Amino acid sequence: MISIGLDIGSVAAKGVLIQGGRQYQMMVPTGWSPRTAGEQLIDDLLQSSGHRPHDVHSIVVTGYGRVAVMEASRTVTEIKCHARGVAELYPQIRTIIDIGGQDSKVIQIDSQGRVVDFAMNDKCAAGTGRFLQVMANALGLDVSELAAYEDPEQAATINSMCTVFAESEIIGLLAQGVDKGSIIAGLHLSVGKRVAAMAKRLGIAGEVAFTGGVAMNQGVKRSLEQELGCKVLVPEVCQFTGALGAALIGLDAAA
Amino acid sequence: MEKMSSVEDFAKIREVNILLIKEAKETGQKVVGIYCTYCPQELVLAAGAIPVSLCGTKEDPIAKAEEHLPRNLCPLIKSSYGFAVSDTCPFFHFSDLIIGETTCDGKKKMFELMQEIKPVFVMQLPHLNQTQASMDMWIDEMRRLKGFLEEKLATEITDEAIWQAIDVVNRETAAAKAICDLNQVEPPPLNGLDLLTVTWSRGFNSNKEEVIAMLDGLQKEYSSTDKESTPRKPRVLLTGCPVGLGTEKVIRLVDEVGGNVVAMENCSGYKTLELQTDTEYDDPLVALAHKYISIPCSCMSPNPYRMELLERMMNDFKVDAVIDLTWQACHTYNVEAYEVSKLVKSKGIPHLHLESDYSNSDLESIKVRIEALLEMVEQ
C-alpha cells in the first residue's frame, strides 16, 4: 500500500510518500502554478522511492492549491491534515498551532485526533510567514536568518499588527538607531502575541504542537512559549506535518 | 383548490413588483420603504400604503456610499445608503417615506444623512426590552409613527384598519414559518438558496394576500411531492447578521462543499417568525409594541430570546453544525458570537464563527473553514 500526501501551500509545496514503515519527503517552491508543483512532487516522490505511478493507491491533497492537482484521489482541508499529522507524531497533544506562508491557525483535537474546534487568522498577513518575510526583506535578511540575529533580551516594541504599517515602523526604528537584533526579537514577539491570543480564545490544554514553515523559527517558538506559558513542541518535520497527515488519511481510508 | 407555487415564483417577486409598484404609484398609492424587522409594517398597511423592504444586500453601491460613510462600517449600512444616494434601487426610488429605527449606532447616524434624500422617520428603539419604561417609550414611538404617517399620507389610521393589518401580517408570518418548518425533516425539501429566495423575496411583494397565497401554495407543493431519498448532507443552521440575495456567499459555499443550510435564524429568516401580535389587547398599538420589542436582534441588551430560539432550532431542525456570520464592524452580533459559540459547543455541535463583508475577496479562506467544519461533522 503506497499513499501520497501533498500539501500545496502558498509558498512551498510539500509531499510525503508512505510505504509500509518507510517515509519519503519532498519539497518544492509552489511558484505560480500549484498544479505543476503538485505534479513535480509526485514525480520526485516516485523517483526517490523507486515506484511507478500505477503503484500508488491514494493521493490526498491539502493546502490552498489542493483543487489544482488533477491526480488527487481526494482533497482534505489543512485543518484535518495537521490534526492527523500531529496525532501521529504526538498522541498526547490537544492543541496545534500552525503558521504557514499566508495564514495561521489554531486547532483543538481530541484523543482520537479528531478536530474539535479551530480558528484561523483574518484575511490580512499579520501573524503569518508572509509578515516575517516582508520584515526580513526590510532588514536585508533572508527569512530563515531571522532567528539567528535576534536579541530577545532587548526586544523592541512593535506596535503595528498590520504588515504594511509594521514595515514602516521598523524602518523608523532602524532610522532611530535601534539594534537589528532587538527589532527582530520584537517582530517575533508580535507574531507570538497575535497567534497566542487566537489560541487562548479557543482555549489550550497541556502542551502545544507548533507546525508549518514558521515553526522552524526558534524566536517565534520562544515567544509563543512565553505568551502561552506552556511548552511548545516543534516536530522535526514541522513543514511536512500537513502532507504527512494527508498521506495518513489516505492510509486510514484504505484500512 | 389552492394554487400551487414554486420557488421560481418567489424569485420573480422583486422584478414583477417593481412594475406593480410603479403602476400603483401612478394611481396615487403611496409607498413606504422599511429597513428592518422592527418596523411595524401593520401601520403602513393600515394607512393604505404599500410597505416595501429596502435592506441593502448588494456590494455594487458600497463604493458610492463610502464617499460619505467611513469604510470601516458594516456593509449592510453602506449598501443601504449607497442604493439611496446613487438612486439605483427602484424600491427606494418609488418610496414616498422611509422608516428607520435606532437599532445600532451605524444605522441611526446613517439615517440622519439619508434625511437629505427622502423624508425619514426614525423610531427610537429601546435596547433594554424588559422594563416598563422601555415599553412605555416604545408604545409612544408607535403613536408618534402613526401620527407621522397620518400627516404625511394625509389619511386617518383607524384602530379597525390596524387590527385588520395585524391579522394579515400574523397570517403571513404563520405561512412563512410553515415553509421554514418544512425543512425540519430529512431530506429537507428546500435547499439553502431556495429557503433564502422564499423568505427574503416575500418582503418585496406589494400585495400581502397574494404573498400569503403563494406561501400556502408552496407549502402544498412541497407537502405533496414524494421525497427522494438522497444521501444525507450535513444540516447547517445559519445565524448572525442579515443575509439576502446578493450576500448569500456563505449559503452557496456550504452547498458547494456538500452541506445544506436547512434553517436560518437571521432577520429575513426565522428570527421573527414565532412572533404573532396578540389580538387580546384593547389598543392595537400596545399589541404591536409588545410583538416588535420581542425581536431577538443583537442590539437588545440582554438578548436571551435569541439563545432560546437558537437552542430550539438546533433541536427542531436536527442541526449538525452552526455557522454564525458577522458582517464586518457589526459589533453587537460580533460580541454575541461568544455567547453563541458557548451555547452551540455545550450541545456538542460543531460551530464556526465567520467575519466577512460583501466582497468575494475571502471566498477561498471562508470555503476552507466551512469545509473543515463539515469534516468535523463527518468524522
CATH number at residue B372: 3.40.50.11900
Asked whether the CA dihedral B48, B140, B306, B275 is positive or negative, the reply is: negative
Q: Are residues B152 and B263 in the same domain?
A: no
| Contact residues, chain B, for A116 at CB < 8 Å | 376
| Contact residues, chain A, for B376 at CB < 8 Å | 114-116
| Contact residues, chain A, for B326 at CB < 8 Å | none
Tell me whether residue B368 is in a domain: yes
Instruction: Find, among B73, B240, B334, the residue nearest to A201 by Cα.
Output: B334
Tell me whether residue B172 is in a domain: no
Supply the pLDDT for residue B307. Answer: 98
C-alpha–C-alpha distance, residues B295 and B38, integer Å:
7
Tell me whether residue A43 is in a domain: yes
Q: Are residues A196 and A111 in the same domain?
A: yes
Q: Are residues A116 and A196 in the same domain?
A: yes
C-alpha–C-alpha distance, residues A83 and A93, integer Å:
10
Residue ranges of the alpha helices (H) in chain A? 34-49, 78-89, 129-138, 146-149, 163-175, 180-202, 218-228, 241-254
CATH number of the domain that residue A207 is part of: 3.30.420.40
Q: Are residues B189 and B108 in the same domain?
A: no
Say whether pLDDT at A123 is over 80. Answer: no
User: For chain B, how many structural domains are there in total?
Assistant: 2
Tell me whether residue A84 is in a domain: no
Range of the domain at B234: 181-378
User: For chain A, how many structural domains are there in total?
Assistant: 2
- Cα distance between the two ends of chain A: 10
Tens of pLDDT, residue by residue over B72-105, are 999 999 999 999 999 999 999 999 999 999 999 9
C-alpha–C-alpha distance, residues A97 and A5, integer Å:
20
Average pLDDT score over residue span A97-120? 93
Q: Are residues B195 and B134 in the same domain?
A: no
Instruction: Find, among B221, B226, B306, B315, the residue nearest to B262 by Cα.
Output: B315
Q: What is the CA radius of gyration of chain A?
A: 19
Please judge whether B375 and A120 are an interchain contact, meaning their C-beta atoms are less than 8 angstroms apart. no
What percent of chain B stands above pLDDT 90?
Answer: 92
CB contact at 8 A, A62 and A75 = yes
Which has the minimum average pLDDT: B4-8, B11-15, B97-101, B310-314? B4-8
Q: Are residues A173 and A55 in the same domain?
A: no
Say whether pLDDT at A91 is over 70. Answer: yes
Q: Which residue among B160, B192, B216 closes a domain? A: B160
Supply the pLDDT for residue B55. Answer: 77
Tell me whether residue B336 is in a domain: yes
Q: Are residues B82 and B223 in the same domain?
A: no
Which has the minimum average pLDDT: A154-163, B271-280, B284-293, B336-345? A154-163
Tell me whether residue B70 is in a domain: yes
Instruction: State whether residue A115 sits within 8 Å of chain B by CB.
Output: yes
Tens of pLDDT, residue by residue over B232-248, are 999 999 999 999 999 99
Supply the pLDDT for residue B1. Answer: 44
Q: Are residues B149 and B201 in the same domain?
A: no
Q: Are residues A71 and A18 in the same domain?
A: yes
Reported as type and span, the H/E element at residue B214 is: helix B208-224
Q: Which residue among B160, B190, B216 closes a domain? A: B160
In chain A, what's the furthest Cα-to-Cα distance? 61
Q: How far is CA A238 from CA A173, A217, A233, A249, B376, in A?
A: 32, 11, 10, 18, 23
Average pLDDT score over residue span A190-196? 94
Average pLDDT score over residue span B299-315? 97
Q: Are residues A69 and A101 in the same domain?
A: no
Q: Are residues B141 and B286 in the same domain?
A: no
Supply the pLDDT for residue B230. Answer: 79
What percent of chain A stands above pLDDT 70?
Answer: 99
Range of the domain at A162: 92-234
Tell me whether residue A63 is in a domain: yes
Q: Using CB atoms, pick whichever of B355, B364, B379 lies closest to residue A115.
A: B379
| Neighbouring-strand partners of residue B240 | B325
Q: Are residues A55 and A104 in the same domain?
A: no
Q: Are residues A208 and A250 in the same domain?
A: no
Please judge whether A64 and B376 are an interchain contact, meaning their C-beta atoms are less than 8 angstroms apart. no
Q: Are residues B95 and B134 in the same domain?
A: yes
Say whether pLDDT at A147 is over 80. Answer: yes
Q: Are residues A120 and A208 in the same domain?
A: yes
Please judge whether A120 and B365 are an interchain contact, meaning their C-beta atoms are less than 8 angstroms apart. yes
Say whether pLDDT at A60 is over 90. Answer: yes
Banded model confidence at residue A162, pLDDT cuts 50, 70, 90: confident
Say whether pLDDT at B131 is over 60. Answer: yes
Instruction: Find, among A234, A207, A208, the residue nearest to A219 by Cα.
Output: A234
Which has the minimum average pLDDT: A10-19, B2-11, B79-88, B332-341? B2-11
Q: Are residues A179 and A58 in the same domain?
A: no
Tell me whether residue B45 is in a domain: yes
Banded model confidence at residue B225, pLDDT cuts 50, 70, 90: low
